[in-house]
Amino acid sequence: MTDEARRRELGENDAAVEEEIETAFDAIVDEGAQRLHRTWPSVLVTGFFGGIEVGLGVMGYLAVEHATGSKLLGGLAFGIGFVALLLAKSELFTEGFLVPIAAVVAKEARLGQLFKLWGGTLVGNLAGGWLFMWIVVQAFPQWREMLIESGAQFALAPFSVQTAALAVLGGSTITLMTRMQHGTESVPGKIVAAMGGGFLLAGLPLFHSVLDSLLIFGAIHAGASYGYLEWLSWFWYAVVFNVLGGVVLVTALRLVRSLELIKERRNDGGGRKRQAS
Q: Judge whether residue 110 has pLDDT over 50.
A: yes
Q: How do the domains of the chain map onto residue ranges?
A: 16-272
What pLDDT shows up at residue 274?
Answer: 41
What pLDDT shows up at residue 122?
Answer: 97
* Helix pair angle (40-68, 187-203), 10° resolution: 60
Mean pLDDT, all residues of the chain: 89
Asked if 29 and 102 touch (Cβ cutoff 8 Å), the reply is yes
What pLDDT shows up at residue 119?
Answer: 96
- Between CA 238 and CA 169 the distance in angstroms is 11
What pLDDT band is residue 10 in, cutting at 50, 70 and 90? very low
Q: Collapsing DSSP states into helix, strand and coil, what is residue 159?
A: coil
Q: Judge whether residue 70 has pLDDT over 50.
A: yes
Cβ neighbour number for residue 194 with a 10 Å cutoff: 25
CA separation, residue 217 to residues 44, 64, 100, 135, 200 (Å): 19, 19, 28, 11, 21
Per-residue model confidence as pLDDT tens digits over 172-219: 999 999 989 988 889 999 999 999 999 999 999 999 999 999 999 999
CATH class of the domain whose range is 16-272: mainly alpha
Q: Judge whether residue 8 has pLDDT over 60.
A: no
- Between CA 269 and CA 261 the distance in angstroms is 12
Per-residue model confidence as pLDDT tens digits over 208-265: 999 999 999 999 999 999 999 999 999 999 999 999 999 999 999 888 878 888 888 8
Give the burial class of 50: count Cβ atoms within 10 A of its Cβ; 0-12 exposed, 13-18 middle, 19 or more buried.
buried
Q: Between residues 8 and 147, which one has the greater pLDDT?
A: 147
Of 267, 268, 273, 247, the C-alpha closest to 102 is: 247
- Say what the pTM is: 0.88
What pLDDT band is residue 143 in, cutting at 50, 70 and 90? very high
What pLDDT shows up at residue 160?
Answer: 98
- What share of the chain in percent tops pLDDT 70? 90
